[in-house]
Amino acid sequence: MSTMFRVLASRSVAMVILAGAAMGFLAPEASAQQEGRRRRGGDQPVKPIELTPEQTAQLTKVANDRKLNVDDLLAAAKTYMPSGRHDDYVLFSSGGQSGQVFAIGVPSMRLLRSISVFTPESWQGYGFAGENDPVVESLKINGKLVAWGDTHHPALSETKGDYDGQFLFIGDKANARLGVIDLRDWETKQIVKNPLTISDHGAAFVTPNTDYVIEGGQYATVLGYGYAPPEEYKKSYRGMVTMWKFDRAKGRVDEKSSFAIELPPYWQDLADAGKLASDGYFFINSFNAEMATGGVERGNPPFEAGASKRDMDYLHIVDWKKAEAAFKAGKVKVINGFPVITIETSIAEGILHFAPEPKSPHGVDVTPDGKYMVVAGKLDPHVTVYSIDRIKKAIADKKYTGKDEYGVPILDFDSVKEAQVELGLGPLHTQFDDKGYAYTSLFLDSAVARWSLGGDFASKHKEQPWKLVTKTPVQYNIGHLCAAEGDTVSPDGNFLISMSKWSVDRFLPTGPLLPQNFQLLDIVQPGTTMPVLFDMPIGVGEPHYCQMIKADKLQTWKVYPEVGWNPHHQKLDPNAPKKGDEGVTREGKKVLVKMTAVRSHFTPEHVEIEEGDTVTWRITAIETAQDATHGFCIGGYNINLSLEPGEYTEFTFTADKPGTYPFYCTEFCSALHLEMMGYLHIKPKATNAAAPASEGATTASAK
């Protein structure tokens, strides 16, 4: 036995007991977050254990054999989840080029679900429901199927600035689309395409009561899919931010009540909505205030050089309540069928102001009390803190240092700045906890910085305000980060996720394409203690941003409310076949199939149609047992469905290739799984001319 573990065994029984949790035993007097994990069929009291000498020896041997130190054992104890216990939090992460959203349990860091949004996904039957699939139709842009997305920024719906667990929004940077996910069944219900721009970046962010979902642009274009050569950049190119009106009762974006705000052709970046003290405003970073147009092929400086010449870019300060009033008053210009508040109107109505900010900023983040906005300039080792009180006063006093080229007033920097805190190289994004700390990702340092806030936070805590406290190395090149409920009015602290862009040597090599690395940090203890607990490889896409919500805020359905439920409309569908109503009917060349699915058979099991028929197939999963999901596929016709308990679905296809096609349940749902199948018989035209079926007749039915 090593000296370290002799000490561990003889002098630090508490450490050994914690080690026991790492090996599957339960630690006594667990921390508050561990207490919340004690769920095995519900919260039940668990008695502290007392380890026998034999158990202590066993734990010590396992630790030595696996070359684990005390920090490893503590990390394992804080993250290990015995079978049947649920995580305290759910992390909703963008899926990058996968076009999806990932749901991950915290602190276990187990992948719970990939939610399909902008990319068809066969396991969930998303985009594989035959011809005229509503999912496929929603993914079309200008009539062309765009079946991938680059998801960047998920946003949970909020009530009074706090997550309410009802909806999730996600932006598609590549194609300027917004997805709406209902968190009752974790399925995408709507995709809206921005009619003004090709791509975006600042989506999605919500106002404190989810009145609007904010979609900022990025690369300036001619709004409305227009054209102009680079030589006309300043004259014809523009930025924009879109305010998508959200109808919570319907769970949908109301496109007719939505509008956009025209912005100068700086490259707008991320946004954050004000709350509490700053409610009614939102803030957008920008870069390329130089309005560089690149062109290395013409001997010009590249974009990255041209867009970084100035010392300052512009923080966009938008009074969205005034913008809403201007829109409702009809003070808009219609571009490509969409209402836009012009720059001139924004200036006249006091909607838009600029404040200088360190060049090439990426993140702008509002503190929990809404009093401060934290901006991280990628090329500045400081974060710059702005005060909403100072901003309001500067606007009221017209404390300007001039106007930009388009007439937007520029607030005096020293009048709106509260503080600058030096953190390190490559600061990007900031989150907050419940102890008065802020956390900022440092891309070039590959570290997370913890620093103290000022104002009311400073009066409640012992830390000196606006000061770096500690930095924890992460592996490697962190982009975004996420603390538990860390961008709400009531952050939890406890855990933080480092979304590390590179993994390099952290995992087994998977070829030249390596996974990214989500690292879990423990931020419970104040001061300099902030260890990395867990590395999670993300082998799909390039995730960008995430939000972490308390699991008990999610009111997830375990089965659909009624048998025959249509998830597209979130209500009972009158077309859903019922037991005893199954069968196949024909009207000319149109065929209707009505089917039910239950363990372990489909009814009917034989469906006979004719070549050239247009088939509408309706299926109800009459199963009501939790987790009794059925699949349904027809090979050769690109049809695969996922039928959750109680779900109704419908698909249409043209039977253009005769043959005998097995259909079967793709889920191994019961012991008789392989027998849950049937046959689709498509008769060739030559064999059925003699005996056509009469219109309206039942050609096959359930017995």
Same domain (yes/no): 528, 641: no
Q: Confirm whether 582 is domain-assigned.
A: yes
Structure tokens at 575: 């077309």
Torsions phi, psi for 72 (to 5 deg): -60, -45
Structure tokens at 584: 């196949």
Structure confidence at residue 457 (pLDDT): 74
Structure confidence at residue 31 (pLDDT): 40
Q: Confirm whether 360 is domain-assigned.
A: yes
> Domain boundary at 79, 109, 127, which?
79
Output the CA angle 679-681-684, nearest 5 degrees: 160
Domain housing 650: 565-701
Same domain (yes/no): 283, 234: yes
Q: Domain total for the chain? A: 3
Same domain (yes/no): 544, 625: no
Q: Confirm whether 558 is domain-assigned.
A: no
Same domain (yes/no): 170, 135: yes
Amino acid identity for residue 19 in this structure: A
Burial 572-597 (b: 16+ CB within 10 A, else e): ebeebbeeeebbbbbeeeebbbbbbb
Structure confidence at residue 363 (pLDDT): 86
Residue 516 CA: distances (Å) to CA of 76, 479, 498, 502, 544:
21, 11, 11, 5, 10
Q: DSSP string covering 384-412, please?
A: EEEEHHHHHHHHHTT-EEEE-TTS-EEE-
Structure confidence at residue 356 (pLDDT): 98
Structure tokens at 698: 């039942």
Structure confidence at residue 595 (pLDDT): 98
* Count of CA atoms in the C-beta half-sphere (13 A) of 221: 18
Same domain (yes/no): 68, 177: no
Structure confidence at residue 671 (pLDDT): 87
Structure confidence at residue 17 (pLDDT): 37
The domain that holds 631 is classified in CATH as: 2.60.40.420
Q: Confirm whether 84 is domain-assigned.
A: no
Structure confidence at residue 43 (pLDDT): 53
3-state helix, strand, coil in the chain (%, to 5): 15, 40, 45
How far apart CA 115 and CA 48 sit, in angstroms, is: 39
Q: Confirm whether 380 is domain-assigned.
A: yes
Same domain (yes/no): 62, 200: no
Residues of the chain short of pLDDT 50, as ranges, are 1-42, 689-703
> Domain boundary at 49, 79, 109, which?
79
> pLDDT digits over 536-550, tens only?
999 999 999 999 999
Same domain (yes/no): 482, 614: no
Structure confidence at residue 687 (pLDDT): 54
Q: Confirm whether 646 is domain-assigned.
A: yes
Q: DSSP string covering 150-210, please?
A: -EEEEEEEEETTEEEEEEEEEEETTTTEEEEEETTTTEEEEEEE-SS-S--SEEEEE-TTS
Structure confidence at residue 22 (pLDDT): 36
The domain that holds 451 is classified in CATH as: 2.130.10.10
Same domain (yes/no): 515, 405: yes
Q: Confirm whether 128 is domain-assigned.
A: yes
Q: Where are the alpha helices (DSSP H) in 296-441?
A: 303-306, 320-328, 343-348, 388-396, 413-416
How far apart CA 184 and CA 560 sit, in angstroms, is: 9
Same domain (yes/no): 136, 69: no
Same domain (yes/no): 37, 94: no
- List, in order, residues 6 or more apart from 249 with CB less than 8 Å away: none
In the block, which residue shows the tokens 């960008």?
544
Same domain (yes/no): 239, 386: yes
Same domain (yes/no): 316, 441: yes
How far apart CA 50 and CA 27 sit, in angstroms, is: 9
With 0-12 / 13-18 / 19 or more C-beta atoms within 10 angstroms meaning exposed / middle / buried, residue 541 is buried
Q: Confirm whether 275 is domain-assigned.
A: yes
